[in-house]
Structure 1
Amino acid sequence: MTIRRTLVALAAAAGLVLVGASPAIAGGNPHFIKSATSASIDGVSLVVEFKEAGLSSGSVETIQATADLEALYQCVNGGGNVPSDPKKTVFDDSVSESGVFTAGQNGNLVGTLMLDPPDADAVLDCPGGQTSTLVSVVWSNVVVDDLTSGATIMVKGTFSGP
Structure 2
Amino acid sequence: MRIQNVFTAIAATAGAAVLAAAPAFASGSPHFINNLTKVTSADLTSITVAFKEAGLESGSVETITVTAHLEATYQCVNRGGHNPDDPKKTVISGDYSKSGEFTAARNGNVTGSLTVTAPAASSVLDCPSGQTSVHTVSTWSNVSVTDADTSATVSVAGTYSFGKPVD
Aligned equivalents of 2:115 and 2:139: distance in 1?
Answer: 15
Indicate the residue corresponding to 1:33 in structure 2.
Answer: 33
Aligned equivalents of 1:146 and 1:24: distance in 2?
Answer: 21
Superposition map of 1:80-99 within 5 A: 80-99=81-100
Query: If the length of structure 2 is used for normalisation, what is the TM-score?
Result: 0.81
Superposition map of 1:13-24 within 5 A: 19=19, 22-23=22-23
Aligned equivalents of 2:161 and 2:99: distance in 1?
Answer: 21
* Secondary structure at 2:122 match in 1: helix
* Secondary structure at 1:35 match in 2: helix
Superposition map of 1:3-152 within 5 A: 19=19, 22-23=22-23, 26-39=26-39, 40-152=41-153
Q: 1:21 to 1:152 in 2, by over 3 A?
A: farther
Q: Does the 8 A contact of 2:70 with 2:93 survive in 1?
A: yes
Aligned equivalents of 1:53 and 1:112: distance in 2?
Answer: 15
Aligned length: 148
Return the offset for 1:70: 0.2
RMSD: 2.3
Alignment-mate amino acid for residue 67 of structure 1: A
Aligned equivalents of 1:32 and 1:85: distance in 2?
Answer: 49
Return the offset for 1:19: 4.0
Query: If the length of structure 1 is used for normalisation, what is the TM-score?
Result: 0.83
Aligned equivalents of 1:146 and 1:97: distance in 2?
Answer: 12
Return the offset for 1:161: 1.8
Matched-pair identity in %:
55
Gaps of at least 5 residues in structure 2 are 1-14
Return the offset for 1:98: 0.2
* Secondary structure at 1:27 match in 2: coil
Alignment-mate amino acid for residue 30 of structure 2: P
Q: Does the 8 A contact of 1:44 with 1:136 survive in 2?
A: no
